[in-house]
Structure formats: structure tokens, C-alpha cells
Structure 1
């Protein structure tokens, strides 16, 4: 009797089947580019967490913007997921990561549900009928996933990576010097405001325009984002990223990110992992199981692309 294939391996295998295998690329958010930045904290977080980058002094950061597909040829003119992954360089030489996407909530709540979802999407691809029967069956069995898919369906095409809002989606736990614990969620707000292209602009855009547009935009000066953090009530769910916390929860502004230019070595940064479980003292994982799945799946993807697969 053979052992069952581990769930993270099944996830990556199914994602490869869904988007194709593209040697050397990530299995999701395949096409992207990295940029240099400086994060300046407001100090508002200091009473809630000892995390070094949220105290008072600015820290360097590297930001990767990406198209969400695992296919690097996916056009930017198609509405869909976009990513903003930030690696903060800490004073002690370590780093910590924050991963955001342009969705208000995640598609599923558990690793098992994520595997079932990608299998449904792959089955619809194989069927080739265009009726999304397998996805509709999945949503009928998982109604908590419906709002996220409704949000996906309402997406436009962003005018720029710099005019898109990004949510980290998963809950994390801040820990202060007294050991007090506070559940939080992060979101990046573009200081340029959120802007999408109209249909005419989309029709006249290059198929892959977002990276070049952002590089050109940086020529006029830094592009900035503000980091907002929602403070959960003890009654708010922290283990289900499909659930949005009530709008009246307190929110604090914890810092500003100024993106200044392209990194010197895109190839080096293309090979790096931005991992939501790469945390620093003062920030803990919550009971949300998905960051741990992402950690495992990213490691599998990294091993495969490092081998040129």
C-alpha cells in the first residue's frame, strides 16, 4: 500500500495542471518584478507589538508586484488577482514578510477546501465546456467561498500596481513587551487612490503593461502606500480568511512604504521566497491554517523552479 501524496504536493501538482508548468517560474504569481523601498513606521503599533519594523526607525524593504496567474503569459488586460509581497529588512540582519492580494477576503478557509477548489478549476479546464460546472458544484458545497468569487467577478483592470489596494487576508497575532496579544489584519492603501482602466484604455493597452507602467511611474518620483491594521475584537474569527471582520473595528495607521526604483538584480529577487510565515518576534501566526499550507506549497514550488522545472 503506497502512502497518499501529501496535500501540499497535491495542491502544487494541480496548480501546474491548471496553469501549465513553466520552468523556472512560481506556480502562482508567476510574472512579477521587484522594487526597492523604505518603510517608515508611525509608532502607533509599538504598544501592541515588539516587531522591530513597527517601532520608530525606518527600514529598507523589497517589494514584488505580480500578476496572480501561474502562467507568465497571462495578459495584464484581463481582470484578476494581483499581488504585493513585501520583505522588510530588519536591523538585526533578518527579514519578515507581508503578502497582500487585491481581494477583500480569501477564496477558502482550509487547506482541504483549497485543494478541492483547484481540483474543480482543473476539472473545468479539462472539460473545456466553459460552463464551470465543477466550480459551481464546489461553490454550492462551500457557500462561504461565494463572496470572494463575487468580488473576483467584479474586478476591473488596474491602471497601475501603484493604484491597487492589497489585503494580507490572514489574521496574525501581535505580542507586546508585556505579553499581551492582539489579533490583527493588514491592508495596503495606495496613496494615489484606487484606479482602474476603462474599457477603451484596456483595449489600447499592451497585453503586459503593468511592470513597464510602474517603472515609468517611478521615474516621476516614489510611489507610496499606507499600511493600515485592523484590531480584532475577541469575538472575531481568526481561523477563517473567507470572513471579513465588522467594519466598525478600530483601525490604526502603522507606517508608510515609499517605493523608489527597481532592484539591481531582478534574477536574484525572482528566485527568492516571500513567505507569510516568515515572521519576527512580536508577531505570531494565528489559528488560520492557510499560511502554513502556503509555506509548504512555496517550498515545493521553490525546489521545482530551482531545478528548472
Structure 2
């Protein structure tokens, strides 16, 4: 059997220095891009990591294994039933007359998973919809009708201004006043927070996607849109006395009780922009006379605890979108997506390392009390 003699070293193929230089340049470029994203080359630049750090500071402590914002909530499951009216606006499959299952989450604002429901001004709905064509759509909506500020930098400054003073455990009113003075658009949000009635239930709350998205139909026509989930359950307002007396977990208890009697429903109502409407500023509402199209219904059938439910490990990134739905020029939308990613990675690291309250439902945090 013939044997193969090893080639002399002088005849072996060698990587020339141009090839090696090319590889080195690729590696260097990747490292440079990573350093830029991390903010190492520009320490003053606002990065998703720096923003998430500010949220953690604003919470007063880190609740391991929980979301850094909207930490308290429950998992829900059900389906979205399209009615066909959205097909003219978007080619997304779920707008056809079909049922699309989802894993969702209802939550309250704030960074503590042990906060009191009666103190939480903001309520939220998040959905991960999985259509039968293999596409996925993640939504993250809130009870406020418009965003508090117009830019990412202002959003960050608001987070810093609301951080508790170590001496008092409360936000510094001087810093809050300075923030409000620097960002006059915040006055509208402050007025809403002070004067708008508080719903008595997650079930009768309207949830708004305050950021602008772009729908694209099969003909390639584009429409800038915003949407809201409007409840079938009749609205009822809480009095200040009811808020003070409410059980700390009254929202989840109320939800479970209602679901015993049947599913809960919200209509998805899409608002279509007209030329000149502000698409890049979520603090500005669109005129009331814009066209509204009801495109389907969200149906919640069941709820489970978030510590063991299917929603626990989902990042409700609002830029995970199906064909027929695109992001817009709204910079706050991109910032939300980036910060959600950092928060998700930190939370998953907590859980994987076993240093997580979410794994047991018990507090596992820095200096925390339930």
C-alpha cells in the first residue's frame, strides 16, 4: 500500500502576511464595535448598559431574577382573534380571520416585585404572539396615553431624577423640579398621572402602544400607526380611599376571580396617522379625528404566577416584529428595545447563577425585605 510522504515544510501552503493582516483587521473591527456599543471608548455616551444601571439605582436595590422595570406581574395566556379589517393595512398573518395564540404578562410600574398594587400608577400589558406562518410579534403597552418625554436623553434624565435620595429614601424634589423645568412636555404626563382616574382592575384598563410603528400591506402601501387595547369590561374608577385600603395584590386576585367566570377581552384599535402627525415624538398625541380601525380582539383565558409561568423568560422587546410591521423613526422605541435586552440578560444571568428570587418566589437581593 503506497504511503504518503510528508511534504517538506518549504512546500506546505502558508498564510501570507496579507491574509493574516486581514484576519487581524476583522478581529480588531469586531472588538472596536463591541467596545463602542459598551461605551468603553466614549464614557459619557448614553448606552443601554448605563440606562439599565440608572433604572437599578432608581429602584433602590437590585431584585435578582426579576425584571428591572415593571417587576411585579403575572403571566397570562390566550389568543388574538383577527377580524380581517387589518388586512388592508398590514400583511401580518394575525390580522386575517384566524386565532393566534399568545403568552402574555400583565404588570404594574415600578422596580419592586413586592410593591403594593394600590400605589402603582402605571399598568401594563405585554404579548408574544406566534402566528401559524412561523412569525412572531412582541408587544409592550402601558396604561398612559402618551409618553412622558420626547427623547431618549430626557427619558434617562427622568429616571435619574426619580432615584431615591440615600438620606431620605425618597426622590429629591429639587432634582424632580429641575427635570420638569428642563422638559416642559412632561407637564402633560404629570397632569395625567395626577388627574386621570385609576381603573379598579387590569381587566378594565386600556393599554396603549404609545410609540409609532409602520404597517405595510401586500401591495407595499405603508401607514404610520399607533394602537391601543380597549377593554370589553366596563370601566370603574378607584377612589383614593379604595387605593389606600386595597390589598397589596388586589390586581392579581381580581384577575383570577374574573377568569373563573370566563375569558377577558380587549379590542385592538389601530389609529392611522395623516401627513404631518408626529411619528418620532411619543409625548405628542395625534388628533382625535384620525381614522380608527378595530382589527381584532385579545382574549385572555388563564393566568399563572410569573415565577413559574411561561412569561418569565420572555423579553417583550417591542421591535420583534412580523412581516408587515416595522419600527418607525421614534428613537424611544429603539431605546426601549436596547434596554429591555440588557435587563433580560442580567435577569437570565441571575437565574442561571441560582442567585434569583424568581426561582423560589423568595427575596434574594441586596439588602432587601419582602
TM-score normalized by structure 1?
0.94
Unmatched runs of 5 consecutive residues or more in structure 1: none
Q: Given the alignment of the two structures, is residue 279 of structure 1 paired with residue 321 of structure 2, yes or no?
A: yes
Q: Is the contact made by 1:239 and 1:287 (CA closer than 8 Å) also made in structure 2? A: yes
Q: Given the alignment of the two structures, is residue 197 of structure 1 paired with residue 231 of structure 2, yes or no?
A: no
Could you say which residue in structure 2 is the equivalent of 1:183? 224
Rounded to whole Å, the distance in 1 between the matches of 2:292 and 2:244 is 38
Instruction: Check 1:39–1:147 CA distance in 2 against 1; reply closer, same or farther (3 A cut).
Output: same
**1:184-239 residue CA offsets vs partner (Å, 9 max, x unmatched):** 00001111132222244334321121112101110000111011010100110100
Rounded to whole Å, the distance in 2 between the matches of 1:6 and 1:202 is 37
Could you say which residue in structure 2 is the equivalent of 1:212? 253
Q: Given the alignment of the two structures, is residue 56 of structure 1 paired with residue 97 of structure 2, yes or no?
A: yes
Instruction: Check 1:285–1:26 CA distance in 2 against 1; reply closer, same or farther (3 A cut).
Output: same
Could you say which residue in structure 2 is the equivalent of 1:297? 339
* 1:1-309 correspondence runs (5 A): 3-4=42-43, 6-19=46-59, 20-122=61-163, 125-126=165-166, 128=168, 132-262=173-303, 266-308=308-350
Q: Is the contact made by 1:10 and 1:115 (CA closer than 8 Å) also made in structure 2? A: no
Aligned-residue RMSD, C-alpha: 1.9
SS of aligned partner of 1:77: helix
Rounded to whole Å, the distance in 1 between the matches of 2:46 and 2:312 is 26
**1:83-138 residue CA offsets vs partner (Å, 9 max, x unmatched):** 1011111112332012110101101122111111111112x634637662211111
Q: Is the contact made by 1:169 and 1:186 (CA closer than 8 Å) also made in structure 2? A: yes
Rounded to whole Å, the distance in 1 between the matches of 2:270 and 2:41 is 46
Unmatched runs of 5 consecutive residues or more in structure 2: 1-39, 356-370
Rounded to whole Å, the distance in 2 between the matches of 1:193 and 1:219 is 18
User: Which of 267-276 and 280-289 deviates more?
Assistant: 267-276
SS of aligned partner of 1:50: coil
Instruction: Check 1:111–1:57 CA distance in 2 against 1; reply closer, same or farther (3 A cut).
Output: same
Q: Is the contact made by 2:224 and 2:273 (CA closer than 8 Å) also made in structure 1? A: yes
User: Which of 11-20 and 261-270 deviates more?
Assistant: 261-270
Task: Determine which structure has more spread, i.e. the larger CA radius of gyration.
Answer: 2
Q: Is the contact made by 2:204 and 2:233 (CA closer than 8 Å) also made in structure 1? A: yes
Rounded to whole Å, the distance in 2 between the matches of 1:149 and 1:203 is 21
Rounded to whole Å, the distance in 2 between the matches of 1:92 and 1:280 is 10
Rounded to whole Å, the distance in 1 between the matches of 2:304 and 2:137 is 18
TM-score normalized by structure 2?
0.79
User: Which of 243-252 and 256-265 deviates more?
Assistant: 256-265
Q: Is the contact made by 2:108 and 2:122 (CA closer than 8 Å) also made in structure 1? A: yes
User: Which of 148-157 and 79-88 deviates more?
Assistant: 148-157
Q: Is the contact made by 1:76 and 1:157 (CA closer than 8 Å) also made in structure 2? A: no
